[in-house]
Amino acid sequence: MFESDEQKKRAELIITLLAKLYVVLELSGDNCPVCHKSQTHDTECPISLAWTLLTEEEQHEARTTIRTLALTIGAEESHADEMVH
């Protein structure tokens, strides 16, 4: 299917990024930018398909990573908003 290891690695990276986007959309509650559905993606949505290609352990790791990043960003933003008098 893939001509080289480089192509296989790129495909794996794309799948991983799409799966992480699945988690971001899950946390945000926004509609999917690809299939335009909220929470329940179209059956042919690449974001949803990428998510289903991950094992349960990979899905858990993706959720943990994205949630940790979101909390970190939120903490940084709350400190940046403080006004010193």
> Per the domain annotation, does 80 fall within a domain?
no
pLDDT of residue 61: 92
pLDDT of residue 85: 44
Domain count, the chain: 1
pLDDT of residue 73: 78
> Per the domain annotation, does 3 fall within a domain?
no
pTM for the structure as a whole: 0.68
pLDDT of residue 64: 92
Cα distances (Å, whole numbers) of residue 25 to 40, 54, 55, 73: 10, 17, 19, 16
Provide the residue range defining the domain that includes 26: 12-38+58-73
Q: For each successive 10 residues of the chain (85 residues), what is the average pLDDT?
A: 82 89 86 83 86 92 88 64 50
